[in-house]
Amino acid sequence: MTTVYHNPRCSKSRAALELLRSHQIEFDVVKYLEDPPSEKELQKIVKMLGIKPEQLVRKKEKRFKELGLGDQKLSDRQWIAILAANPSLIERPIVVHGGKAAIGRPTENITELLGQ
């Protein structure tokens, strides 16, 4: 099954849904701002992405600045906790498919993930 961590207000996230539909891929949508992933889920996603948790952080978000995160050196565990508590900081969209994941910026990442 394919899952999309989606923000309806994000054009790249909407484009990811359209791409999946155009490839006739069935998928579940997780509106992660309304239903944030747990720390455990985030750890799994980061592992599937093959990145460090800090690389999943949207550093230009207002919330990032409000939390004063720019000057801090944090552990992977701390970044995961911050993302779980502040889902607006999670890079989007994230598509999980076949035990792997991709951030849909650019959308070609999703095409590669699908093997198309």
Angle between helices 39-49 and 76-85 (to 10 degrees): 120
Q: Which amino acid is at 4?
A: V
* pLDDT one-digit tens code per residue, 46-103: 999 999 999 999 999 999 999 999 988 999 999 999 999 999 999 999 999 999 999 9
Residue among 10, 17, 29, 51 flagged as catalytic:
10
Closest to 101 (Cα-Cα) out of 43, 30, 37, 46? 46
Domains of the chain: 2-114 (3.40.30.10)
| Residue 116 pLDDT | 61
C-alpha 77/C-alpha 56 separation (Å) is 13
Specify whether 55 is catalytic.
no
Kindly state the tokens that stand for 73: 């050196």
